[in-house]
Structure formats: structure tokens, C-alpha cells
């Protein structure tokens, strides 16, 4: 019996070279087929990865047929090599190709034909990691979501391949942006596992409420993506979802002394537009809340032109002295009309909103600079360091000095 080796997705430059190497050594053992042959009969598939869509084609091929896969990875896509582990490919060879590495991979696969297919992945013909360890690597779904959020998938064909990775009715249409820190009295064991602990609380709280949650680390933050129940049209109006978010925040703080903040984007059922929910969630996280400090919905941010103009002015001039009358004049509204409209649209009175903007920038300066508490208070527009400290304690739950000693949770 001859084993069938299919050169499934190999470009014109590499094809004759691989065909020659296979014929030279394996003419008696193997029959070579191109991708135009009957690939369903293949025992080994050689697949070249030259762009993102090729990973998706491998995934779809593996769903159709279980056989041995040797992947050839172009060097510009070397950073995606963990996907080979996730897909449990049997060998991974880097391109430009080395004959010795390719032949070692084929030899090893042929030697395993009579053995259990759960084998070790190879990199350049050397065994490096067992396939059962692949769960530690980023899921293929997460990789696809990253590409969508960074708008690197434009082609409709690639988009269709990308969506095939997800099970029916599980593709997310909403993004939450999560940040946090561990208080000084947090148990060291909880602090060390804070990221997986937060994820576990989300999983438990949302179980049975959404089809699936996806956790995508983003810089120091974490993105939580899910599909909104069909019966709900707006996340801010989803009362059950609001209660779930609030319970996660409350329980993490009460039981583990871990403080998290959540920004929630809008719903976008078109996959091409999912990145908008991501940007909205990130923005919501940074702006003053309508109700709760730890939970902010983008949909609650005012769209009224004069209020948007006024809040932009506040965010630009937060370190300066300003009054509601000053800002009302800036947007050409009467003082009385402005303060009523501002409260209605932002959920805060003018002084509350300004205070929060100043605190938010104070948090940034405490984390990112060596400014003294006095200097931070002055830069952010507080009259005295004591007033800054007491206000900070009220909203954040710790003094500025203590906050500087806390550890920011890094999800990446």
C-alpha cells in the first residue's frame, strides 16, 4: 500500500521543490497528489501558511478529514506558530524550506502511521511540545477575534473562513473592556492568580445567559466578548446583564479584594463592525459613569452636540479652574439650561463630572509618573492635596499613597 501525500495548499514556487524531494526518497512508499486531486483520500497533507486565511483553510480541512498535517509556515507569519499547537498539526516547518527539516518531518509522520495520532508537534523536524498541552495556547477563535478587532480582515472570502471557526450562534456581537487592581489587603494567592480568577467569575456569572464567553488579553487589560441574547436589543437596557456585571464587581471586591472596572460597548451583529464595540467599550471605561463608577456603558454617553462639546472642553482643561458658567458660555447656552441638560445627559452634575475627570487623570499620573501626591493634586486641578486625597479615597476606596502601592492587574 502506498500512502497518499497531498500538496494541498502549496504555492507555485515551493510545489516543484517539495514534489522533487518526495519523489527522490519516497517514490516506493508514497503517491503524490496535488490539491486538484482527490484530497479526501490523503494520508498526509502538506499545507503552506502564507496569510491569515490559510490558517482558516487548515482548520476547515481538519474538520473535513482527519489525517496527518505538515504545515509550512512563511517566516513573516512566524508569530502565529502557536496556532499549529492549537490545531494539533503534526509538524511545522519554516519557509524558506530546508530539505533536511522537511524530510525529518515526513519520516516522523510515516513512522507514526501505525501509532496513536496524538503525537508531538515538530518545529523544523524537532519535537518540541506534546499535543495535549495545546490548551495553554491561545484558541484559534481568539486569534480570529484579534484580527477582527484590529480590522485586518477585509476580504469577504477571508471573513467567511473566519466565521467558520465559530460554532453556530456563538460569534460575539458585544465587547467589554476590563481593567483592575488588587488592594493592599488582597490575599497574595488571589493576587497572583487575579486574571484567571476574574475570568472564572465571568464564566460562572454568565453561564446559561450567553452561548459562550471569549477572553482576549489586550495590553494590560482584558476584553470579554459574548453574543447578546436575541431578545435584547440594547446592553444598557439588559437589566439581567447589568445585575450580572454588578455581582461580579461586588463579589471580587468583597471576597478577594480585587477591584475591577468594566466598560461596555454597543451591539454590532455585522462581524465587520465588531471593532466599533471594542473602541466604544474602551472609551466607556475611561469616561465618567452615568450610574456606577465601576460599570460604564457606551450607550449612556451623551450624543447631544452641546454636551459633547462641553465634555470635550472639560477633558482638555481639567487641570484649570473652571465653573459651570464658564463652560455654558463656551457652548453658547444659558447657565440654567446648561446645568439641567448636563445632569440629564451625563447622569452627573457639573462638579461631579469634573471631579471624576480629574480623578481619572490622577490615577494615570499615580501609575505612570513619579509625581508626588502634592504635584498630582496640583496638575489635576484640586485645590489642596488633602482634598485630592479625601476625594480619591471616596471614589477609589483607597488613598492615593496606598493606591500607588497596589498592583495593577496585567492580563497579557
Extents of the domains making up the chain = 3-136, 169-300, 305-407
* 291-305 burial code (b ≥16 CB/10 A, e <16): eebbbbbbbbbbeee
Domain 169-300 grouped into CATH 2.60.40.420: no
Angstrom CA distances, 1 to 21, 28, 359, stand at: 20, 9, 74
What are the beta bridge partners of residue 383? none
Q: Which three cell numbers stand for residue 84?
A: 499549529
The residue with cell 456606577 is 292
Say which residues have a Cβ less than 8 Å from residue 166's Cβ, sequence separation at least 6.
Answer: 141, 144
pLDDT of amino acid 117:
41
Domain 305-407 grouped into CATH 3.50.50.60: no
Q: Are 307 and 273 in contact (CB under 8 A)?
A: no
* 318-348 burial code (b ≥16 CB/10 A, e <16): beeebebeebbebbebeeeebbebbeebbbb
Handedness of CA 204, 207, 209, 212 (dihedral sign): positive
| 221-226 vs 44-49, strand pairing mode | unpaired
- 3-class SS letters over the chain: CCEEEEEEECCCCCHHHHHHHHHHHHCCCEEEEECCCCHHHCCEEEEEECCHHHHHHHHHHHHHCCCEEEEEEEHHHHHHCHHHHHHCCCEEEEECCCHHHHHHHHHHHHHCCCCCCCCEEEECCEEEEEHHHHHHCCCHHHHHHHHHHCCCCCCHHHHHHHHCCCCCCCCCCEEEEEEEEECCCCCHHHHHCHHHHHHHHHHHHHCCCCCCEEEEEECCEEEEEECCCCCCCCCCCCHHHHHHHHHHHHHHHHHHCEEEEEEECCCCCCHHHHHHHHHHHHHHHHCCCCCECCEEEHHHCCCCHHHHHHHHHHHHCCCCCCCHHHHHHHCCCCHHHHHHHHHHHHCCCHHHHHHHHHHHHHHHHHHHCCCCHHHHHHHCCCCCHHHHHHHHHHHHCCCHHHHHHCEECCCC
pLDDT tens digits, the chain, 412 residues: what are they? 678 888 888 888 888 899 999 999 888 888 888 755 444 567 889 999 998 888 888 888 887 777 888 999 998 888 788 788 778 788 888 888 888 888 888 888 887 765 544 333 444 444 333 332 333 356 778 888 988 888 877 777 777 777 888 888 899 999 999 999 999 999 999 999 999 999 999 999 999 999 999 999 987 899 999 998 888 889 999 999 999 999 999 999 999 999 999 999 999 998 889 999 999 999 999 888 777 789 999 999 999 999 999 999 999 999 999 999 999 999 999 999 999 999 999 999 999 999 999 999 999 999 989 999 999 999 999 999 999 999 999 988 899 999 999 999 988 7
In degrees rounded to 5, what are phi and psi of residue 96? Answer: -65, 140
What is the CATH number that goes with domain 3-136? 3.40.50.2300
Rounded to whole angstroms, the Cα distance separating 281 from 218 reads 12
Amino acid at each position: 500500500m502506498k500512502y497518499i501525500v497531498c500538496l494541498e495548499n502549496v504555492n507555485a514556487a515551493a510545489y516543484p521543490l517539495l514534489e522533487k524531494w518526495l519523489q527522490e526518497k519516497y517514490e516506493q512508499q508514497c503517491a503524490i497528489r496535488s490539491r486538484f486531486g482527490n484530497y479526501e483520500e490523503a494520508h498526509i497533507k502538506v499545507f503552506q501558511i502564507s496569510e491569515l486565511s490559510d490558517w482558516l483553510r487548515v482548520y476547515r480541512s481538519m474538520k473535513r478529514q482527519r489525517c496527518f498535517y505538515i504545515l509550512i509556515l512563511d517566516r513573516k507569519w512566524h508569530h502565529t506558530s502557536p496556532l499549529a499547537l492549537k490545531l494539533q498539526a503534526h509538524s511545522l516547518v519554516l519557509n524558506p524550506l530546508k530539505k533536511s527539516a522537511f524530510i525529518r518531518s515526513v519520516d516522523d509522520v510515516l513512522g507514526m502511521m501505525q501509532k496513536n495520532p496524538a503525537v508531538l508537534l515538530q518545529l523544523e523536524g524537532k519535537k518540541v511540545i506534546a499535543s495535549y498541552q495545546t490548551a495553554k495556547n491561545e484558541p484559534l477563535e481568539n486569534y480570529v477575534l484579534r484580527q477582527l478587532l484590529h480590522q485586518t480582515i477585509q476580504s469577504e472570502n477571508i471573513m467567511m473562513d473566519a466565521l467558520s471557526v465559530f460554532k453556530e450562534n456563538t460569534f460575539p456581537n458585544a465587547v467589554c473592556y476590563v481593567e483592575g487592581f488588587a488592594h493592599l489587603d488582597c490575599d497574595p494567592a488571589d493576587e497572583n492568580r487575579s486574571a484567571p480568577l476574574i475570568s472564572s467569575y465571568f464564566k460562572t456569572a454568565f453561564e446559561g445567559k450567553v452561548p459562550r464567553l471569549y477572553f482576549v488579553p489586550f495590553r494590560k487589560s482584558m476584553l470579554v466578548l459574548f453574543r447578546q441574547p436575541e431578545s435584547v436589543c440594547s446592553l444598557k437596557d439588559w437589566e439581567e446583564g447589568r445585575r450580572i456585571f454588578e455581582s461580579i464587581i461586588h463579589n471580587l471586591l468583597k471576597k478577594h479584594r480585587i477591584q475591577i472596572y468594566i466598560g461596555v460597548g454597543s451591539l454590532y451583529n455585522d462581524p465587520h463592525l465588531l471593532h466599533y464595540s471594542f473602541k466604544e467599550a474602551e472609551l466607556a471605561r475611561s469616561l465618567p459613569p452615568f450610574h456606577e463608577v465601576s460599570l460604564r456603558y457606551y450607550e449612556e454617553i451623551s450624543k447631544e452636540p452641546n454636551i459633547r462639546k462641553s465634555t470635550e472642553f472639560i477633558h482638555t482643561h481639567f487641570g484649570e479652574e473652571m465653573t459651570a458658567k464658564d463652560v455654558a458660555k463656551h457652548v453658547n447656552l444659558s447657565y440654567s439650561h446648561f446645568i439641567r441638560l448636563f445632569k440629564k445627559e451625563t447622569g452627573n452634575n457639573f462638579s461631579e463630572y469634573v471631579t471624576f475627570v480629574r480623578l481619572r487623570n490622577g490615577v494615570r499620573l499615580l501609575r505612570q509618573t513619579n509625581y508626588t501626591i502634592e504635584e498630582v493634586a496640583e496638575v489635576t486641578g484640586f485645590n489642596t492635596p488633602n482634598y485630592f486625597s479625601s476625594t480619591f479615597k471616596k471614589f477609589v476606596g483607597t488613598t492615593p499613597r496606598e493606591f500607588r502601592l497596589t498592583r495593577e492587574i496585567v492580563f497579557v
